[in-house]
Amino acid sequence: MPKYVKTADFLDEEILKPRNSPIKGYMMMEVEKWYGVKVLHQIAILGAETSIGHGDIDIGGTLVRYNNFGCIKAWPGWEDTKWGEWADGTVTVRGVEWLTWPTPQKGMYSWGRYMKVGAGEAYLPILRKPDWHQEFANIYYGSEVPGIEEYVANLKKIEDKYRKLALQFGFRW
């Protein structure tokens, strides 16, 4: 089993490259450093949204092509938000308008900004709680959206899977 000195190298080799994801480990580390979103939370949320930016459109979804790994919707005034200022436009998928970013890096950093200041700065305090999944999903996914129970279960499943994988390589998340 390979040993990784840097978390970013572990992320690249064990999680991102096997998915052909345009996301890089250093981007996830910077999102944690700059915006306070722990790597395991990023993996769980982005895993539930786009299979952590999976390069196969049948798995990751159309929004991966537009560097919108967290499935952030566009709404009036998005241009004036911290997460929208780097966006390069919108795309309509299945009747919903979503933000787009010109590069994976800008997409990831914008998502980090959204997690820090979006929804009235609600996300980070929720993510600090040990059992964050339902409360987070109620806002991010929508408490009245059909399938929320499955979404919450998926967040927990992804978090558990990657916490165990990280532990196998000596990382305690």
Report how far apart, in Å, the C-alpha atoms of 81 and of each of 22, 44, 48 are: 24, 24, 24
What digits encode the pLDDT tens for the residues 139-158?
Answer: 999 999 999 999 999 999 99
Contact 115, 39 (CB under 8 A): no
What digits encode the pLDDT tens for the residues 7-46?
Answer: 999 999 999 999 999 999 999 999 999 999 999 999 999 9
What digits encode the pLDDT tens for the residues 81-98?
Answer: 999 999 999 999 999 999
What digits encode the pLDDT tens for the residues 104-124?
Answer: 999 999 999 999 999 999 999
pLDDT confidence of residue 1 = 72
pLDDT confidence of residue 2 = 76
pLDDT confidence of residue 68 = 98
Paired tokens of 122: 């609600």
The number of angstroms, rounded, from the C-alpha of 10 to the middle of its chain's C-alpha atoms is 17
Give the mean model confidence (pLDDT) for residues 45-55.
97
> For 23, which DSSP code?
-
Q: Which domains does the chain have, with CATH numbers?
A: 7-168 (1.10.530)
What digits encode the pLDDT tens for the residues 66-78?
Answer: 999 999 999 999 9
Quote the pTM value. Answer: 0.97
Whether the predicted pLDDT of 128 surpasses 80: yes
